[in-house]
Amino acid sequence: MANTKKWFSLNLRNNKTANNDSCGCGKTSGGCGSSENLHHMSDVDFDAAVDASIADETPKDGFGQVFDVQMDRRSAFKKLTASLLIGAGAVSTSCSVIADDDAKEKAEIDWEEQFKGNYKLMTDDEKNATVDRLVRSYQIRTGKTISMSSKNAEEDVLFGYAFNISKCQGYMDCVNACIEENNQDRNSEMQYIRIHEMKDGKGLNFGEADDNYYHEVPAEGHFYMGTQCFHCDNPPCVEVCPVQATWREEDGLVVVDYDWCVGCRYCMAACPYDGRRFNWSKPEVPEKEVNHNQHYLGNRLRKKGVMEKCTFCVQRSRAGQNPACVEACPTGARIFGNLLDPESTIRWVLENKKVFRLKEDLGTEPKFWYFMD
Amino acid sequence: MNRQSILSIFVFAVLFSVVFTSCKKEEHQYHSIIDKIEAESKNYQGTNISSEQFISEIEMIEISEDGHTFLIPERKSQIKSYDCNECHSKPINELKGKGHGQKAHWDLTLVHADEKTMNCATCHDESNMNLLKSLTGAKIDFNNSYNSCSQCHSKQFNDWKGGAHGKRIKSWAPPRASLTCVNCHNPHKPSFDSRWPVRFNTQTEEERK
């Protein structure tokens, strides 16, 4: 690993490995020496500095984000110095002989995370290393342990999905399950799945459909159709990404590296299916509701200003489980499986039912088919 | 043929090969996703992923119907008062009335088709309450109750066998494990009541005002 490293590493804690949880005197936190330290930058100050640099703003678009900002001398000064403070924080922690171990480790992790490469170019060792850092970082910050996977695509697997529009009753159990599974922002009530209530006899008219109904379902004279990311085999969102932060994996999942995304939202504009979501504010999930079974490319906690979307629950599907929406659906309208397995149920549906996809003429080749009984 | 034309043919040949080999992108070698699925599944060897770890806690039985072999949950151990013959030792008429102990399902009503089409004896075997029976009187085990349903619901049965009706249990991976009819449908009242959706997005409502 050391000889493949592409950047300089900080070694703030002198010859300690990143996974060493205790220091020489046996304490798991706090310095071994005196705790009196006037120069030490506390976690609280550090976080405040970071927060100041990404202070919450009301969602604005384009021009407004840059120019239409009310800023007094104080906040302008804060913003200017925030980034300096991050650097200074690392320096002060590194120079201090008595700064606590956790702070040093956190600074090390932040440094490494800052310079890591694009996930799709990483070797398996590098993937494991970043996952370990993220798990440790979460542990330092919250005291809670999560499990995060960097499991790669399995050979001979291509994921596909089928949705039975005669079965869906519009209960939205899938939406709730998805939000809980994927740690979606509770404040903005982000949801990857939308269920469209459509009038019988009007065709697939999304313009007239209602995707935020609240009445007893199924409603007379209506049918229900769910949309989410279709994991196109020829995904336009991937084509337009200027930094290659989103790509199609070997098993067909279209994924996002949240640490590589610059938040330009080109992909959101390019998606013909409105499958992508943007974090306008820092996503908030109450600690007790966080799903601790995570995948780097899936439901790990996101930050402000990055794109996210349905990943067919990569943390579940690559392990062999059905995505949360499939599991939660009480009607059996959702069918998921391996398109390359000739014996799979998804293949039977494609070969025996009359299936169609949305906007097929665009050539995006979605791996999400609709059918009727 | 003069030297010049040989040279120009050579130049064109080189250009031709450069243009056509360089444009062949690995990723777009299939015309459509269906072509890709067909081509890549020809040499399908199976995967390391198995559903077994997810269904190990459920007692399953293997069934084979029209070339589809898969697992369904064992049923008899899930029926609260099986074995039925422990109470149903006499014909129903004799059991009615006083002095016959606890009544297990006295409140059971049949909301399935209409009275002309179905009554208890359409599915239950009066001569042996531990069994179901077909329309022609053939015995059907409670574990294979789908054979009873399939007599009328042949379209649903066909979809279920293939995997278009019903639900897989937990995993998409082989071996296939699916719920059987009575895991979702109450055989005495197979339809579902309407209910309220579990979610209403207040933010979306706010944004669209």
Q: Which residues of chain B have a CB within 8 Å of the CB of A277?
A: none
Residues of chain A with Cβ-Cβ distance to B50 below 8 Å are 320
Count CB-CB contacts under 10 A for residue A135. Answer: 17
CA A306/CA A268 separation, integer angstroms:
11
d(CA A133, CA A81): 27
Mean pLDDT of B26-32: 75
B75 in helix, strand or coil? Answer: coil
For residue A18, which of A79, A121, A101 has the smallest C-alpha distance? A101
Beta bridge partners of A162: A335, A369
Using a CB-CB distance cutoff of 8 angstroms, which residues of chain B are in contact with residue A175?
Answer: 198-199
Q: How far apart are CA A33 and CA A40, in angstroms?
A: 13
Q: What pLDDT is attached to residue A8?
A: 79
- State pLDDT tens for residues A157-209: 999 999 999 999 999 999 999 999 999 999 999 999 999 999 999 999 999 99
Mean pLDDT, rounded, for B35-40: 95
Q: Lowest-pLDDT range, A17-31, A40-54, A353-367?
A: A17-31
The span from the CA of B42 to the CA of B150, in Å, is: 33
pLDDT at A46: 60
Tell me whether residues B164 and A371 touch, CB distance under 8 A. yes
**Cβ B194–A216 below 8 Å, yes or no?**
yes
Question: Picking from A251-265, B50-64, B96-110, B113-127, which range would have the lowest pLDDT averaged per residue?
Answer: B96-110
Q: Does residue B13 register a pLDDT over 90?
A: no
Residue B198 tokens, joined: 């579990």
DSSP for B7-22 reads: HHHHHHHHHHHHHHHH
Per-residue CA distances from A331 to A161, A313, A344 (Å): 15, 20, 20
CA distance B208 to A141: 37
Inter-chain touch A173–B198, beta carbons under 8 Å: yes
pLDDT given for residue A254 in this prediction: 98
Q: A320 vs B201: CB contact, 8 Å cut-off?
A: no
Q: How far is A249 from chain B (nearest CA, A)?
A: 11
Residue B70 DSSP one-character state: E
pLDDT band at A25, cuts 50/70/90? very low
pLDDT score at A2:
46
Residue A361: pLDDT above 90? yes
Query: Could you tell me the end-to-end alpha-carbon distance of chain A, in angstroms, rounded to an integer?
Result: 54
Task: Give kind and range of the element (H or E) at residue B132.
Answer: strand B132-133
**pLDDT tens digits, residue range B87-143?**
888 887 777 776 666 677 878 899 999 999 999 999 999 999 999 999 999 999 999
Using CB atoms, pick whichever of A234, A332, A343 lies closest to residue B174. A343
Query: A232-259 burial, b if ≥16 CB within 10 A, otherwise e?
Result: bbbbbbbebbeeebbbbbebbbbbbbbb
CB contact under 8 A, B172 and A337: yes
How many angstroms away from the CA of A146 is the closest CA of chain B? 21
If phi > 0 it is left, if psi is from -120 to 50 it is alpha, else beta; for residue B110 that is: beta
> What is the mean predicted confidence (pLDDT) over B22-37?
76
Say whether B168 and A156 touch across the interface (CB within 8 A).
Answer: no
Alpha-carbon distance A194 to nearest alpha carbon in chain B (angstroms): 10
pLDDT over 70 (residue B30) = yes
- Among residues 40-69 of chain B, which lie with CB inside 8 Å of chain A? 40-41, 44-51, 53-54
Q: State the CB neighbour count (10 A cutoff) for residue A147.
A: 11
Determine the average pLDDT of the residues in A76-102: 64
B200 part of contact set with chain A, CB < 8 Å: yes
Chains A and B form CB pairs within 8 A to the count of 148
Q: What is the mean pLDDT of chain A?
A: 86
> How far, CA to CA in Å, does A354 sit from each of A162, A298, A348, A358?
11, 32, 11, 14
d(CA A341, CA B115): 45
Report residue A249's pLDDT band, with 50, 70 and 90 as the boundaries. Answer: very high
Which of A156, A167, A329 has the CB atom closest to B44's CB atom? Answer: A156
Which of A189, A316, A340, A344 has the most B C-beta neighbours within 10 Å, making it the best mutation to test the interface with B? A340
Q: Is the pLDDT of residue A210 over 90?
A: yes
- With a cut of 80, say whether residue B204 has pLDDT above it: yes
pTM: 0.81
pLDDT for res A91:
62
Q: 3-state SS string over chain A?
A: CHHHCCCCCCCCCCCCCCCCCCCCCCCCCCCCCCCCCCCCCCHHHHHHHHHHHCCCCCCCCHHHHHCCCCCCHHHHHHHHHHHHHHHHHHHHHHHCCCCCHHHHHHHHHHHHHHHCCCHHHCCHHHHHHHHHHHHHHHHHHHCCCCEEECCCCCCCCCEEEEEECCCCCCCCHHHHHHHHHCCCCCCCCCCCCEEEEEECCCCCCCCCCECCCCCCECCCCEEEEEECCCCCCCCHHHHHCCCCCEEECCCCCEEECCCCCCCCCHHHHHCCCCCEEECCCCCCCCHHHCCCEEECCCCCCCCCCCEEECCCCHHHHCCCECCHHHHHCCCCCEEEEECCCCCCHHHHHHHHCCCECCCHHHCCCCCEEEECC
Span A222-231, average pLDDT: 98
Residues B151-190 have pLDDT tens digits of 999 999 999 999 999 999 999 999 999 999 999 999 999 9
User: With 60 as the cut, is the pLDDT of residue A15 above it?
Assistant: no
Mean local confidence (pLDDT), B26-55: 90
Residue B6 pLDDT class (50, 70, 90 cuts): confident
> Chain A residues with CB inside 8 Å of B40's CB?
156, 158, 340
Q: Report which of residues B2 and B129 the model is more confident about.
A: B129
Average pLDDT, rounded, for chain B = 90
Q: Which of B47, B201, B203 sits opposite A157 (nearest CB)?
A: B47
Pick from A42-46, A71-75, A335-339, A366-370: least confident: A42-46
* B167/A214 Cβ within 8 A: no
- Domains of chain A (ranges; CATH) run 2-124 (no CATH), 159-371 (3.30.70.20)
Tokens of B140: 């059907």
